[in-house]
Structure 1
Amino acid sequence: MENEDRIVILDHIKDICKRRCILPVVVIVVMIALLFIVPFGSLLSPKKVDGIFNISAKDDFVEVSTKQMRYTGYDVKNGIGTKFSYYYTIKDGKCAFALIPQDLVKADGKNLPEDAVKEEIKNLTFKAKVIKPNRAYNEMISMFAKDLNWTEEDLNSISTEWIVSSANYHPYRYIFSLIVIILLIGLAIVRLINSIKGYKDPYRFEVCSYLSKEECHELIDEAQDELDSENYLQINATYITEDYYIDLDTSGAFIIPLKDVIWVFRLGRRGFDIGKHSLTYTINFITRDGEVVKVPRKSSDEAMAIIKSIKATEYEIITGHSDEKMRMAAAIIRGREEENAETQPEEKTEE
């Protein structure tokens, strides 16, 4: 009869892959929803409108051709310093306003101020976003009504419920957002596919970052054999067997051959939890070839217990962090590199 308390590395990897499917699915759903909510299609191909009064409040982005509009005398500047001017036109007792870039309506002639604009424009085509009246528009209406000796209420009563604003037409910003959304969807799909593959074939999971998939396959089987022997030290979800460091935390799975490790130490950082001031620690494993494997999210006591347990194994592993220990580890790595460099020419000679 199989032991119900048996620790099975492959089952743990499957659980991880299953949980890792959740975030990509959420990201994909949210990003696709944004593609429908944000009018990217209207932005990339604005609706062409002949005459401003053919616009409706339901339109998003438009390319409008207007025959004649007059200057209100009021301008506005956006956050990056681009200036826009308010123009209006009247038809059948209805008034419509447009906010047009000053670059398109600059006045011609000498001895004119740099920001002088045309009092009247004809046959102008420009791109804009159809928006509801905002604070800047309301301030303009208030002042323009006084210029006309009208009340603000009377002017609003004959004005459209929307304005055509080039100041709110930000194609590059929307295109950047579209690219980000597509990239996020792509990354989420890749992660989802990898998680599904990992669930179907747990041996594909990268349990040791510096080893190949074939070596990781063997590593999982060998580590499982040592766990089955029940000859190990356990610190929460960490198991230190005769030859392996095995970490089966809820967020990942790490298997590190202790024979490869020359130095292990912990580094702490301030946690992000509000109201908590304790440090979380990352255990750093340095191998003979200079590879670094980081196992994150350990408490202070947990990290110390793990390092002490590793120190108690038969392997000669430097533990703790200091400049002297860093130099010792560097010397071992350097010696390993020199040893490899000496053996390479001999191999070539034999060939």
Structure 2
Amino acid sequence: MILSYIRKNQCKRLFYPLMLLGVVIFLVWRSPVTEYVTKRTISNAVLINDSMAKKVLYAKIKTGTLYYSGEDCLAGGELVGHYYYELIGGSCHFYLIRALAGYPASKTLEGQTIIGRVDAFEPEILDPLTQKLAEDISWDAKSLKSVCQKYFVNQTAYLNRREIVLMVVLLLVFVLMIVVFIRTFLYIINPRLTKTYRNLEHYGNPEKILSDVEKQIRRRILLQTKTLILTPRYLVELSDDICAIIPLPEVLWIYDHAAMRRTIKGRQLSYTIHVVTMKGEEYTLTGKSHREVSAIYHELNTRYPNFFFGYSKEHQEMVQYVLHEMKNEKA
């Protein structure tokens, strides 16, 4: 019964990782990551028209000699790139090359391999660009504009700082989710790997303890609430967050604290039970009501009056002393 509950509990825990993985996949799909992987290699002599621009978001181009146009690209007052051009096959091709911090633009660039986004020129960019270039090469601005491509390859838009951070975060979240999935599936296949089962090894044979717990749950329940089951020898929590089995003869100290918690019904007082055993194990049972805590305390105080009940500095010091002495005895 307990092992089956652990399996069901682990299955429920798959919901949030699956949801987060779905968000990661959606962000990857909406981000340029997929286009980076599927970038297309095209010749520098190819004219990029509207039809091609719809199909090719990112392109890889090996150019000939590029010439500095004299125009730069600023974003937020910061220099991000320089406009270069190449005259080939009777047309003028522009490239926005990433600026190197502290270095002026070179007059020429020989044989570049450029990976960038295919962007359409806005008139307010293309007009002054062709005007400035026409003056430099003593050509008519109108004639020059007629042979200029209306698309340019934007190197500054490929793997910029924001996208690198996004890709790293998505990769880390993806790896984390894979680890969580693997661990959860292992727990579903073999619940004896879970902390619930392994904690029982501190108190004896886990299989015998589980068998005893299930017998007591079937025949000798003293108190049962929504998430807690109390039997003569065990306190068991079966909630969505945790599955815990606490052998009562091993308990040394039990105390609780209350805190306000936001719920659908508004702010409510929620109690947390802390249990410390003679093996030094600590259990935290959260989200309990005052009625649950009072009922558990009443039963335990009656059957196990040797417990340290409630939090105090004296109790904390006594528990630490007892655990220290027990550790020394084992050594």
Q: TM-score, normalized by length of structure 1? A: 0.70
2:63 corresponds in structure 1 to 66
1:295 corresponds in structure 2 to 285
SS in 2 for 1:191: helix
- 1:213-292 equivalences in 2 (<5 Å): 215-268=205-258, 271=261, 273=263, 276-292=266-282
Q: Is the 8 A contact 1:208 1:216 kept in 2?
A: yes
Q: CA 1:185–1:11 in structure 2 vs 1: closer, same or farther (change >3 Å)?
A: closer
Q: Select which of 81, 86, 106 maps to 1:84.
A: 81
**Structure 1 unmatched ranges of 5 or more:** 1-7, 107-113, 342-351
Higher relative contact order, structure no. (Cα contacts within 8 Å, ≥ 6 residues apart): 1
2:98 corresponds in structure 1 to 101
Aligned-pair distance for 1:306?
3.2
Aligned-pair distance for 1:231?
3.7
Q: CA 1:100–1:207 in structure 2 vs 1: closer, same or farther (change >3 Å)?
A: same
Q: Distance in 1 between matches of 2:68 and 2:94?
A: 10
1:130 corresponds in structure 2 to 117
Aligned-pair distance for 1:256?
0.6
Q: Distance in 2 between matches of 1:116 and 1:63?
A: 24
Q: Distance in 1 between matches of 2:231 and 2:329?
A: 29
Aligned-pair distance for 1:334?
1.4
Q: CA 1:75–1:234 in structure 2 vs 1: closer, same or farther (change >3 Å)?
A: same
Percent pairwise identity: 19
Q: CA 1:102–1:27 in structure 2 vs 1: closer, same or farther (change >3 Å)?
A: closer
1:31-79 Cα deviation digits (max 9, x unpaired): 5677777665764796554427466533455443222243242233589
Q: Distance in 2 between matches of 1:224 and 1:123?
A: 76
1:212 corresponds in structure 2 to 201
Which amino acid is 2:95 matched to? Answer: A
Q: TM-score, normalized by length of structure 2? A: 0.73
Aligned-pair distance for 1:247?
0.9
SS in 1 for 2:283: strand
Q: Distance in 2 between matches of 1:174 and 1:193?
A: 28
Q: Is the 8 A contact 1:102 1:115 kept in 2?
A: yes
Q: Distance in 2 between matches of 1:242 and 1:208?
A: 20
* RMSD value, Cα: 4.3
Q: Is the 8 A contact 2:14 2:181 kept in 1?
A: no
**Structure 2 unmatched ranges of 5 or more:** none
Q: Is the 8 A contact 1:40 1:174 kept in 2?
A: no
Pair 1:312-2:305 in alignment:
no
2:317 corresponds in structure 1 to 327
Aligned-pair distance for 1:333?
0.8
SS in 1 for 2:242: coil
Aligned-pair distance for 1:173?
4.0
